[in-house]
Amino acid sequence: MAGARFISNQMNGFHSLVAFFKRGTALMRLIYINVGVFLITRMAVVLLQLFNIENSFLLNIELPASVLSFLTHPWTLFTYMFLHEEILHLFFNMLWLYWFGKLFLQFFQPKQLTVLYLLGGLAGGLLYVLAYNLFPFFEGYAAHSYLMGASASILAVVIGVASFAPTTKLNLMFVGEVSLRTIAIVAVLIDLLSITSDNAGGHWAHLGGILVGFVYGSMMKNGYDLTRVFVQRYESVLSFLSRARDRKPKMKVSYQDVHRESDWEYNARKQNEEKDLDLILDKIKKSGYESLSAEEKKRLFDSSRS
C-alpha cells in the first residue's frame, strides 16, 4: 500500500507540473524548459560525481564543432540551445529572454516568438559548425569544441524586435533611455570583435541568431512573416492531434446543444484575424504604435496572447 501511495503521489505531482506548464505563456514555457533542463543536467552531473562516474553524457547533447561528430549526433542542433553549464549563464540569458520576449509580444504573436527562438538557435548552431570547419584559425579546435547556451536564440528575438521597431526606447539602469537600434548595433559589434576570442564559438553562434532576427524584423516591416510557414505547420499538427483525440470513444453523461466550429469556419476566422493583424502592423510601420486606436491596440494585445 505504501508503495502504491508513493507512486500515486509522484504521478499527481507530475500531472501538476504538466498543468502548470500548460497554463504558462509561450515566453514562460521557453524559460521553464531552460530552467528545467539546467536543473536536471546539473543534478545528473552531481550524482555521477558522487560515485566517481565519468559525466561525459553532456557531450551527447552539446553541439560539437566536428562535422563527423555532428552527423552522428544531429539532435544536438536542437538540444544545445536549452543547455547551460553555470547558473549565472542561465540567469542572465533568461533575464534577457524575459525582457525582450515581453517587448517582442507587444508587436507579435506567441507562436512567432517560439518559432523565432528555434530558428535563431538553428542558424547559430549551423554557423558555429561552419566557421570552425571553414577558417584555418580554428584548425585543430573543432575536434574538441562544443557549444551550449540559448544566447543565439535570444539574440534572434532581440534583433528581431529591434529591426522591426528600431526607434523604440528602453530605460536602462545607469544608462537611461536607449533605442533598440543602439542596443542592436552594440550587440553586433561586440560579437564581430570577439570571433577569435576564447569564446569564439559562442560569438559565431550569436551572429547566426542575429542574422535570423534581422531578416525576420526586416521582412515583417514589409508585411512578410518568416515564421508563418512554420507556425502553420505547427498548427496543422496540433489540429491533427486534436481531431485524433476527438475521434476516441468517450463516455457521454449529458448532451448540450452547442455549435462546434467546423474546420472551414475555423480557417476562415483565422484568415480574417490575420488580415486584420496585418493591417494593424502596416499602420504601425507607417505611423508608429501610438497611431493605433484603442480598439486596434486591444486587438494587437489579444493576438499576442493567443
Per-residue pLDDT of 70-89, as tens digits, reads: 999 999 999 999 999 899 99
Q: Is residue 140 part of a domain?
A: yes
pLDDT tens track of the chain, all 306 residues? 554 454 444 445 444 545 545 567 999 999 999 999 999 999 998 998 898 887 777 788 999 999 999 999 999 999 999 999 899 999 999 999 999 999 999 999 999 999 999 999 999 999 999 999 999 999 989 999 999 999 999 999 999 999 999 999 988 877 889 999 999 999 999 999 999 999 999 999 999 999 999 999 999 998 899 888 888 887 777 677 777 766 655 555 444 444 555 666 666 677 777 777 777 777 777 777 667 777 777 776 666 555
Q: Is residue 296 part of a domain?
A: no
Q: What does the buried/exposed string (b/e) look like for 78-101 if buried means 16 or more CB atoms within 10 Å of the residue's CB?
A: ebbbbbbeeeebbeebbebbeebb
Distance CA 300, CA 277 (A): 7
Q: Is residue 305 part of a domain?
A: no
Q: Which domain holds residue 135?
A: 24-221
Q: Is residue 283 part of a domain?
A: no
Return the CATH number at 104: 1.20.1540.10
Question: Looking at the 3D structure of the chain, how many domains does it have?
Answer: 1
Count Cα neighbours of 190 within 13 Å in the Cβ-side half-sphere.
13
Q: Is residue 133 part of a domain?
A: yes
**Model pTM score:** 0.74
Q: Is residue 292 part of a domain?
A: no
Q: Is residue 4 part of a domain?
A: no
Q: Is residue 142 part of a domain?
A: yes
